[in-house]
Amino acid sequence: MSLFRVALPALAVVGSAYAASCSNSATSTIQNGGDATAIASCTTYSGSIAVATGLADDIALDGNLKKIDGDLVLESNSDIKRFGSSSLQSISGKLTLNDVSQLAALSFPALTEVDELTLKGLPNLRALEFNLTKADKLDIENTKLQNLDGIDLDEVSSIFIANNDDIASIEMQVTNITEFITLSFNNAMVNVSFPKLESANNISFRAIGSLNIPVLSKINSGSFGVFESDNLESVSAPNLTKIDGALVIDNNKGLKNISFASLTDVGANLQIANNTNLHQIDGLPKLKNVQAALDMSGNFSKVETPSLDYVKGVFNLQSTGDIGTVCDDFYNPLKAKGKLQKGKYVCQGKLEEANTAGSSPKSGSGSGSGGDKGAAVGLAVPSISLGLVGLAAVLLL
């Protein structure tokens, strides 16, 4: 039985006053319950469907309807509280719900496939009733959803989930993300898990509580960034071997450990900065090549990149802690061999203040090498306020 109680005319009337074609080259608008009943009498509806902004009745597309060959849109409606279909299995286009302030129930229990799912501006929606496994694009913003139960995608090109304060867990079985994944400012303790994710183009995480990406092996043509996650204690990608773009770990106050045990190549900048409780950088044992800048600043007592062989851009290592003789023993010899760019080099510990590339060291008691005259060179790194495409392109310095 449907979850909805819908004000619809008697079934006897459907065959007459509410009979309708099952296709429309233009967008059909549901103005009342009778329009919904007529559409639901079709097995496949060819065309796009929109719900009128002024409609106050709850809408259930219950009946024979299994497929919509087009879009289904409900937006800018301040009255509807329940919307869904017990029979609908696929939507070839978009399922969009945007700015529906009173919506409290969204029930599509048979729905497994859409092209794009957009849920935005739904301040009363706390749960979903879906069985969605396939979508090309997923965009969920500004809802009161407590979880994403019913959305477990195995195919997707992009995921954008932002500003959903009550979501405690985001987990999907997706293996490949062809465009980007951005998770931004949801619940600050949100547990993020993509246990089967093998490859992605751009990954950007902001304000997350934990991260599980055990089989991720490659970032294709994009970047990987973790930002402003004060409750995150560890970032680990044990099987990640190559990032075509940048790797940025920035402004995570609770972060204590970074581990990229298999990473050998970073195609743009590698920046680790403003992570207050990160005292050791020893989780990059196989890192060999950085094709732009290598920029590490913080309160480090240990820095090791034993396999590093080449940095094409700026090299900046600044620490307020004592990093021992690593500059003299390892990084200075690399510079002397031309493996690090001359004129764009800083390696120093025991500083009063540790800065990112582009700012000269503020000396304390001093250890290591102060760098060359050309050390204060600006570093083009991905912006903290990134758009939907995740991390921005970076410049070679």
Beta-sheet pairing, 234-236 with 210-212: unpaired
**Residue range of the domain that includes 332:** 153-348
d(CA 316, CA 385): 23
Predicted model pTM: 0.88
**What tokens does 242 get?**
């190559």
8 Å CB contact between 27 and 52 = no
Residue whose C-alpha is closest to residue 72's, from 39, 105, 104, 42: 39
Ramachandran assignment for 227, one of left (phi > 0), alpha (psi -120 to 50 degrees), beta (any other): beta
Q: Quick one: pLDDT at residue 310? A: 97
**What tokens does 343 get?**
């004129």
d(CA 132, CA 254): 35
DSSP conformational letter for 43: S
d(CA 268, CA 288): 13
- 54-56-62-67 Cα dihedral, nearest 10 degrees: 20
* Averages of pLDDT over each 10 residues, the chain, 397 residues: 35 38 94 95 98 96 97 97 98 98 98 98 97 96 96 92 97 95 97 96 97 96 96 98 98 98 98 98 98 97 98 97 98 95 89 91 63 40 37 37
Residue 358 lies in a domain: no
Number of domains in the chain: 1
**What tokens does 105 get?**
């129930």
Residue 53 lies in a domain: no
Residue whose C-alpha is closest to residue 119's, from 134, 100, 132: 100
d(CA 113, CA 155): 10
Q: What are phi and psi of 4, to 5 degrees?
A: -100, 145
Residue 332 lies in a domain: yes
Q: Quick one: pLDDT at residue 369? A: 55
**What tokens does 94 get?**
């978009």
d(CA 98, CA 78): 11
Residue 64 lies in a domain: no
d(CA 320, CA 322): 7
Give Rg (Cα) of the chain: 26
Q: What are phi and psi of 192, to 5 degrees?
A: -110, 125
Q: How far is CA 161 from CA 7, 82, 193, 202, 371, in A?
A: 34, 22, 14, 14, 42
Q: What are phi and psi of 35, to 5 degrees?
A: -60, -40
Q: Quick one: pLDDT at residue 365? A: 56
Q: Quick one: pLDDT at residue 371? A: 56
d(CA 17, CA 36): 13
Residue 78 lies in a domain: no
Residue 366 lies in a domain: no
d(CA 10, CA 131): 30
Residue 275 lies in a domain: yes
Residue 177 lies in a domain: yes
Secondary structure of 63-126 in the HEC alphabet?
Answer: CCCCEEECCEEEEEECCCCEEECCCCCEEEEEEEEEEECCCCEEECCCCCEEEEEEEEEECCCC
Q: Quick one: pLDDT at residue 384? A: 35
d(CA 324, CA 317): 13
Q: What are phi and psi of 335, to 5 degrees?
A: -60, -45
State the DSSP H helix or E strand holding residue 346, giving kind and residue range, or none if neither: strand 345-349
Q: How far is CA 64 from CA 46, 61, 85, 110, 348, in A?
A: 14, 9, 10, 12, 71
